[in-house]
Amino acid sequence: MNRPTHEGILRLSHAAIRVPDLELAAAYYTEVVGLIETDRTPDQVYLKAWDEHQHHSIILESAPTYGLQYLGFKVSDRSELDRLAKRVEDASTPITRHGPGELAIGSGDIVRFMAPSGHVIDLEYGQKQVGSALPLVNPPPAPQDLVGMHPPRIDHIFLMCEDVDGIHDFFTEVLEFRLTEQIKADDGHQLAVFLERTHTAHDIAFVTGPNGAFHHVAFWVDEWGDLRDGADMCAYHGVNLDVSPMRHGATRGCGLYFFDPAGNRNELFTGGYRFDPDDKPTTWTEAEMGRAIFFYEGKVNTRWLEVHS
């Protein structure tokens, strides 16, 4: 009944994360985070959050190291995929095109390229739909058999790169993202940028650091109280908790940082605001960077600045 749309990039779709111990990582992401396994191969485990309809939002990839293999954005239509592919090519960025199922189980049509930040990005249309964990007739508010933190969905991804100004221009000019917030150095260059397509505070963010580095992937939870439950879950399972429930200045959201067994940082995130395309971005000055990241502490810890995967 619903009609085609032409909205370009809709939202963050998935992240493929490298882990040296696939079984350990799979146990963590299903039992502690509470994602649902949808498929597996000898080298991969496919996961989705309970309220997601798509086949996967996290793919664990067996690898000798940790980090981000690639990330994917969901595109509204096939014609939008073609249009965006041309924009990426016109920006002198080589692309490859892949048919359904070619790059991952359940994948749709994909345009793949490497962003100037050194991250592999997929634009995808038509990932296999497997349905959420609820019926489409008279559903309860949530399934009754959820375990772990059980966030309803993936929310955003946070990456590092050397040239934040450059990646800001690439995302806004080529991929049609909008800048919601930025941290500016005293000399005027951007230390961090927050970018959105979903009218939220951010779908992706970049902070100064090594190209290709993965800072964290965040899962949405509905309430501040869910962050407390998440922290309880981390403590009970002996998960390496990075930062206890806290408030971000930038995005105004509240979060909880912790590490998966391979050392990739995860976040539970809630709050934030709704951003119109004609709204002006918020700026944080270098002197206030501490409050921008950790509003209560007022300073950034070394781990946050230096530990990535």
Chain contacts with another protein (rule: CB under 8 A): 1-3, 5-8, 10-11, 51, 53, 74, 76, 79-80, 83, 87, 129, 131, 136-142, 152-153, 176, 198-199, 220, 222-225, 247, 249, 252, 270-271, 273-274, 276-285, 288, 291-292, 295
| Closest to 195 measured CA to CA, from 291, 294, 73 | 73
Q: Which is nearer to another protein, 270 or 309 (CB)?
A: 270
Q: Which is nearer to another protein, 92 or 280 (CB)?
A: 280
120-125 and 109-114 strand pairing: antiparallel
Cα(70)–Cα(177) distance, integer angstroms: 19
Q: Which is catalytic among the residues 156, 168, 215, 308? A: 156
- Residue 65 Cβ, how far from another protein at the closest point, in Å? 33
Q: Which is nearer to another protein, 18 or 202 (CB)?
A: 202
Q: Which is nearer to another protein, 161 or 175 (CB)?
A: 175
109-114 and 95-98 strand pairing: antiparallel
Cα(27)–Cα(37) distance, integer angstroms: 10
Q: Which is catalytic among the residues 14, 56, 202, 215? A: 202
CB 97 within 8 A of CB 85: yes
| Closest to 81 measured CA to CA, from 100, 60, 68 | 100
- Give Cα 176 distance to the centre of its chain: 17
CB 194 within 8 A of CB 180: yes
CB 113 within 8 A of CB 93: yes
Q: Which is nearer to another protein, 68 or 75 (CB)?
A: 75
67-75 and 9-19 strand pairing: antiparallel
Give me 28's structure tokens: 């963590």
- Residue 257 Cβ, how far from another protein at the closest point, in Å? 18
Element (H, E) at 234: helix 224-237
Cα(221)–Cα(270) distance, integer angstroms: 5
- Residue 199 Cβ, how far from another protein at the closest point, in Å? 6
Q: Which is nearer to another protein, 139 or 210 (CB)?
A: 139
267 is catalytic: yes
3-state SS, residue 293: helix
- Residue 3 Cβ, how far from another protein at the closest point, in Å? 7
202 is catalytic: yes
- Residue 278 Cβ, how far from another protein at the closest point, in Å? 7
- Residue 29 Cβ, how far from another protein at the closest point, in Å? 21
Q: Which is catalytic among the residues 29, 46, 125, 257? A: 257
Residues annotated as catalytic are: 156, 202, 216, 248, 257, 267
